[in-house]
Structure formats: C-alpha cells, structure tokens
Structure 1
Amino acid sequence: MNRKELKRYKVIGHLIQGYITGGEAAELLSLSTRQVYRLKKRVLEEGETGVIHKNRGRKPAHALSKEKRQHILELHRSDKYKNCNDHHFAELLEKYEGITISPSTVRRIRQEANIKPKRKRRPSNIYRPRERRSQAGMLIQIDGSTHHWLEERHERFSLIAAIDDATGEIVGATFRQQEYTEGYFIIMKQLITQKGIPMEIYSDQHTIFRSPNEKQTIEQELAGEPIPLSQFGQALDELGVSHIKATTPQAKGRVERLFETLQDRWVIELRLRNVRTIDEANQVLPELVNEHNKRFAVKPKAAEKAFVPLNDKQSLDLIYVTETSVC
C-alpha cells in the first residue's frame, strides 16, 4: 500500500472499531460519507486490499499503444511538424493525421523523450493588460510584422493586420513585401467592407501614420493652422475615424501578442500548405484568419456593435488611393 492507502486503511479501521463516526472519517479522508461507507464495506469483505484501487497494475483502456506513441514522437521530430508547441501539435495531429489526443498527452510524450518545449512558459505580466473595449468596432489596433513567414522558402516579408480590441478578432490582414501605406489601405478596405467604419484606430508612430511636418511651431499653433496629416491620416480624417498613435509597444499590446501567436502558428500552417510565394500566402490567408478567429476570438461585453456603415456619398476607392507602384 502507498501512503494514501495506508491512511485510508487506518481511518476505516478506527471507524469499524467505533472510535470515530462516519462523518469524522469522511472529514479526515476528504471524502463523502457515502464513499467512506463503501470503503468500510470493502475492508470488511476484503481486508486491507479493499482500500487498494482496482486498476492498480492494469493498463488503462484508453492508453496509447507503444507503437502509436512512437509514431507520434516521430511526427513531432519530423520536418513537417518542427517547432510546434504542444497545443498546436495536438490540433495538427487531429487535422492532418486523424490522431486525437490532448495537449497534456503530447506534453507527456515529449517530456518522456527528453525533448525541450518550444519555449518556456511565459512569465507573469509585468504590465497589467488594459481592459478590452466593450463593443466591437470601438477600437481597432493595426500593425505590421516582418518575419520569415515562409522560412527558407522565401526572404522575409511583412504581415499587416488589424485586430478588434473588444473581441480579439482579426478584421483585416495582408502579406506584403514591405510595410508600406498600401498594405494598411488594403486592410482598412477589408475592415470597412466587411464590418463597417470603426470609431478609433490605434497605431504606432511609424511615418506611415504621421506627417514629418506634424510638429507645429508656436506661431502655427497660434495662427490656428491645421496639423499636417499623412496620406493614411487624411483618409481616416475623411472617414471620421479618430487616430491614436501609441508611444510604447505595450500600449498596443493586443496586436503585439497577436503577432507572437501568428509567428508561432502560421509559419507551420504555411509550411504544411507548401506555400512558397507572397501571392500564394495571400490566397490561403482568409482560411488562416477564419481558423484563428474561430479558436481565439471572444464575445464582447456588449452585443451592440460600434461600427458605422459607409456613407453612400463616400467611396473607398477614392479615399484609399492604392499605391500601385509598391508590391
């Protein structure tokens, strides 16, 4: 008997001898009174073996066979699934291999094989996360991430994306060669066409979002001269969208964390689809966005949306003049 079973045997013995009540035994063993009397019956019938679990030494019916565990381990070590975290690998096994196991089982197989995790568990947040906005469309965070999205199959390029602060839903995304104004025009057209005009846009201080002449002299301020806007800023102004420019990466943490997740997952998803060019990446992008939103998006606090429909007199094609010379 192990320590736990030995304690149970002694407590049930005291119950049988009348030294303690059933309620006291239940409290000592952290069991219900009903469970205690079941144990008492088994001890009276079987002696000390009555407290030993009946599955001791038996292989669980749902346990993986040695061959299946080895197959999972080989897949984990293969180039096909390299750099997968435990949760993503469990999802991919079900999707592509027809093997349904939990992330904890993946973790156990990996640990038994002395394979280190892809990354250490995240430390406690130094910055307290800002509370989400209550309605979808109140605040959209936008940013770009230059990364080896296709690994050695292609040089680095940028993913430009927009995320709704209230839901965590990706509401616009495109792969571009570089982080230019054109990419942000594309995701804004996607957003407005599919959802509507948001109340606020949150970006960084990139020159795409601010004019180099934005800082005015005292004389200009006193004269009431308007602050010069970038091409992107002018488009937002025409749409009536407020533009907030963050001063630190932590201020737009929602979109920063989004890119961490996408770099972790989409590199592998693009590899599994054998994507080799930016055009091919953009072709599968709607599928990737849809899968991400199904798994990670949350319901907003308020059901009513803050998006505003595009005015009949407004034309996105005129507001967002695409820079056709930029790829």
Structure 2
Amino acid sequence: MTRAEMKKVVVVEKIIGGHMTNDEGAAALGLTKRQIIRLKQKYNQGGARALIHKNRGRKPAHSLKDEIKERVAERYTQIYHGSNNCHFAELLEEHEAIRLSASSVRRILLGKGIKQAKQRRRIKAHQPRSRKAQAGMLWQIDATPYAWLEDRAPVFALHGAIDDATGIVVGAVFSANECREGYSLVMQQGIRKYGLPLGLYSDRHTIFRSPKEKLTIEQELAGETKPLSHFGKAMKELGIEHIKAVTPQAKGRVERLWGTFQDRLVIELRLLGVNTIEEANRVLPKLIAKHNRQFAVSPKEADSAYVELGSDTNLDHVFSLRSQRRLGAGNTLSYGSKIYTLAKPVSCHLHAKSTVEVRETLKGELILWLGGQALPLRETQKPSRVQQRKMADPVPPHKPAANHPWRKTWIQKQVQHNTNP
C-alpha cells in the first residue's frame, strides 16, 4: 500500500469513527465530499484493502510484449550499439518496422541494464545568439577529426558548413585531415547548390588567415594591407565577408552539429557497411540530405539572401593555390622545379621579366591568371645550354736541367762573374 492510500485509510477510519466530518476529510485528502462518501462505502464493504487501486499487480493492457523488449535489447547490443535513445527509436522504425517512443526505448534498455553509451555532461551555459533572418546571410564552417568508421579505418576529418538561419548543412566532405582542400570542396558544394552567401564564420586556423596578418605601425602608416591566405583570397574574390571567431562558442551552430553527427553518422555508416573514406564520401550526400530533412527549420523571413554565381566565374580557378612568378624569355616560367609556357598563343604581348600570377587548382591544373582570364600552361623542356669549346690539354711545364743558371744562387753568380772579367 502506498503512502497516499494509507492516508486515505486513516482519514476514512476517522470519519467513520466520528472524529472527522465528510467536509474535513475531503479537505484533508484534496477530494470532493462525494468522493469521500464513495471511499466510506468501499471501506465498509471490503475494508482497507478495498481502497487499493484495482490495477495493482496487473500488467497493463497496452504494455509492450516481452518478445518485443527482448528483440529491441538484442538489436541494440548486436547492431545499433552506440546510438542514443532518440536515434535508436528512429532506426528501429526505419530498419526493423518497430515503432516506439524514445522514452519507451530508454525504459527497455534500462530494464535490461543497458545504459546510454555516451553520457551527457553539464556544460557551461552561454547566451544563445539569434539565428539570422534569411537563408544565405551567414554560413558557419568547421572541421573535426573523429573515428567515423570506428575501428574499421584510421581517424579522419569531416569538413562541413551549415546555414545559420535554417540549419541546413550546405556541404560536407571527408578528408584525411583538416586541410584547405576539404574546406574548398565544401564551399564549392554549397555555392553550386544554393548560391553565394553574404558572410562566412570560421575559426582562426591558418588555413583561413595568414600568420603574418598583424601589421606593424610602420606598415600601417605606409598603407600596407593585411596579407590573406589562399582561402581568404578566394573569399575576397567572391565578395564573401569572412569573419574569424575567437571562441568556439561564437560559432556554436556548427559546433553542435558535430555532436549530432558523432551520435548519428557513425551508426549510419556502420549500417551501410562503409569501411573506407572513399566509400564514406560516396554515401555522405545521401546522409546529409536525410539530416536536413529532419533537422532543418524555416527561416524568419522567406526571402533568400543568396547571390547567384556569375556564369563567367569558375570556382576551380577561385579555390586555388596562388603564387607570383617572373616570366622568362619566350613566355616561360618556373614552377615546382619545372618549366612551363603558354599552351596556346595569346593576342596580348607579355613582357619578359614581368611578374605574373600562377594558380594551381585542386585537380592539379596549372594556369596563368592575367587580367581576370585563365591562360592554360603546359610543361616544356629546359633550353639546353651551349657548351663551351673544350680547351686543349695544357703543355706540361719545362723542368730546367740541374746545371741551369736559374738553379744557381745569387752569390754563386757573383763569384762566377768576378772570376771571369
């Protein structure tokens, strides 16, 4: 008997014994007078046991069958281990045709002594920043290394970008480590599918900024500008405002995305039988589309802030390595210990010893960037140097005889001169 039921018994006994009225008993139990009269009738018919709830000890009619509970626990330990309760409930409905709530899944697992693999810890609270009003006003970009394939492959990094207003993952790619190529591919994916965003939020990794961007007072007075990294130059060329966060909490949208992906993508990749980073990149677009369907939200304003990419803009040429070279005779230049020249003749005249910009794309294509135009380059052979004519063998020096006058000392010569007047 519960404490509440024992309280009912005591109050009803006092009312029957004449120590309390029906109104006082109703006030003590928080019930109506009519309910008190019914409790008295039950007590008179069956005693204190009649006040116990009739379903006590009975199995609810809507309770889950033991076979389903056993199957849920078995599938978790064999296949879906590591997933959280919410994700596990979704996987059961998708793959096993078992529809359960996350709370039901939690009760089943706890009843079997199975705790959630990843325990949540309380983190320091930060004031949340409001989402942008329109899609395309701001993207947040980042990368995180993780054991995405568990023990089936080494740790590698996932690069991703998320729209701040809608929570849509605009691009994602796996790479061996955090690198400029990974970020460039993510930006290309998002721009080709949605358009150019107005701003981009990133951390202060040297991929995004030059380590020499801090200018001295003399440089500022001389009018010099901060040097940009290769990625920063691409953002400037596309007209995207690049903001570099000082703390991870400033770009909390993409930071929270990694927690979701580490909970869900690992399980999804396991279920798909992915064992290599190449296979992971092939199935990643499908998983990103599934994520966006489930977690994307509507922006505050329906109008989009995306800017359409111009037809004359080649993203392969924008996201490239850029370096300065000096032209040699015959429009040749040196790059990577090799000599290159123009693949096709050009109408404009290029002066020898002039400084030009050379760009190397992610695919390894080499171009000469001149006046906003890409001129393809091709490898050529180094001009052979004219060898100097080989000189004749030198004549060996003449060795004078032992009685040669040069071998005599000056005193000997003086004595000989005096004796021969």
Q: Which runs of 5+ in 2 are unaligned?
A: 321-360, 366-421
Distance in 2 of aligned mates of 1:128 and 1:50: 55
CA deviation map 1:184-209 (0-9, x unaligned): 12111221222221111111111211
- Deviates further, 182-191 or 119-128: 119-128
- Kindly indicate whether the alpha-carbon contact (under 8 Å) linking 1:43 and 1:49 is maintained by their aligned counterparts in 2: no
- Kindly indicate whether the alpha-carbon contact (under 8 Å) linking 2:22 and 2:37 is maintained by their aligned counterparts in 1: no
Alignment correspondent of 2:65: 65
| Structure 1 residues 277 and 119, CA gap change in structure 2 (3 angstroms) | closer
Distance in 1 of aligned mates of 2:314 and 2:12: 80
Distance in 2 of aligned mates of 1:122 and 1:307: 38
Alpha-carbon offset, residue 243 of structure 1? 0.6
Alignment correspondent of 2:363: 324
Alignment correspondent of 1:140: 139
- Kindly indicate whether the alpha-carbon contact (under 8 Å) linking 2:22 and 2:36 is maintained by their aligned counterparts in 1: no
Secondary structure of the corresponding residue to residue 88 of structure 1: helix
CA deviation map 1:160-193 (0-9, x unaligned): 0001122222111111222221221211122122
| Structure 1 residues 218 and 109, CA gap change in structure 2 (3 angstroms) | same
Alignment correspondent of 2:279: 280
Alignment correspondent of 1:114: 113
Alignment correspondent of 2:305: 306
Distance in 1 of aligned mates of 2:224 and 2:111: 68
Alpha-carbon offset, residue 273 of structure 1? 0.3
Secondary structure of the corresponding residue to residue 89 of structure 1: helix
- Letter of the aligned partner of 2:203 in structure 1? D
Secondary structure of the corresponding residue to residue 139 of structure 2: strand
Alignment correspondent of 1:55: 55
Alignment correspondent of 2:235: 236
Alignment correspondent of 2:389: none
- Kindly indicate whether the alpha-carbon contact (under 8 Å) linking 1:174 and 1:187 is maintained by their aligned counterparts in 2: yes
Higher share in helix: 1
* Alignment: residue pair count: 319
Secondary structure of the corresponding residue to residue 226 of structure 1: coil
- Letter of the aligned partner of 1:150 in structure 2? L
Residue pairs, 1:1-327, within 5 angstroms:
1-8=1-8, 19=21, 25=26, 37=34, 39=35, 42-43=38-39, 46-47=42-43, 52-78=52-78, 80-321=79-320, 322-324=361-363
Alpha-carbon offset, residue 266 of structure 1? 0.7
- Kindly indicate whether the alpha-carbon contact (under 8 Å) linking 1:174 and 1:186 is maintained by their aligned counterparts in 2: yes
Higher share in strand: 2
Alpha-carbon offset, residue 314 of structure 1? 3.2
Distance in 1 of aligned mates of 2:28 and 2:239: 67
Distance in 2 of aligned mates of 1:138 and 1:274: 37
Alpha-carbon offset, residue 262 of structure 1? 0.8
CA deviation map 1:287-327 (0-9, x unaligned): 2112222222233333333222223443333323442259x
- Kindly indicate whether the alpha-carbon contact (under 8 Å) linking 1:110 and 1:116 is maintained by their aligned counterparts in 2: yes
Secondary structure of the corresponding residue to residue 317 of structure 2: helix
CA deviation map 1:103-149 (0-9, x unaligned): 22222222223233223233153333333223222221101111111
| Structure 1 residues 156 and 210, CA gap change in structure 2 (3 angstroms) | same
Secondary structure of the corresponding residue to residue 183 of structure 2: helix
Q: Which runs of 5+ in 1 are unaligned?
A: none
Alpha-carbon RMSD: 2.9
Distance in 1 of aligned mates of 2:252 and 2:40: 62
| Structure 1 residues 125 and 296, CA gap change in structure 2 (3 angstroms) | farther
Distance in 1 of aligned mates of 2:305 and 2:15: 65
| Structure 1 residues 325 and 122, CA gap change in structure 2 (3 angstroms) | farther
- Letter of the aligned partner of 1:63 in structure 2? S
- Letter of the aligned partner of 1:226 in structure 2? T
Distance in 1 of aligned mates of 2:363 and 2:314: 18
Secondary structure of the corresponding residue to residue 189 of structure 1: helix
Q: Which has the higher contact order (CA 8 A, sep 6+)?
A: 1
Secondary structure of the corresponding residue to residue 244 of structure 1: strand
CA deviation map 1:86-110 (0-9, x unaligned): 2221211111112222222222222
Greater C-alpha radius of gyration: 2
- Kindly indicate whether the alpha-carbon contact (under 8 Å) linking 1:158 and 1:179 is maintained by their aligned counterparts in 2: yes
- Letter of the aligned partner of 2:362 in structure 1? E
| Structure 1 residues 209 and 4, CA gap change in structure 2 (3 angstroms) | same
- Letter of the aligned partner of 1:133 in structure 2? K
- Deviates further, 149-158 or 125-134: 125-134
- Letter of the aligned partner of 2:3 in structure 1? R
- Kindly indicate whether the alpha-carbon contact (under 8 Å) linking 1:132 and 1:166 is maintained by their aligned counterparts in 2: yes
Question: When the two structures are superposed, what TM-score results if normalisation uses the length of structure 1?
Answer: 0.85
Distance in 1 of aligned mates of 2:235 and 2:364: 22
Secondary structure of the corresponding residue to residue 308 of structure 2: coil
Alpha-carbon offset, residue 219 of structure 1? 2.3
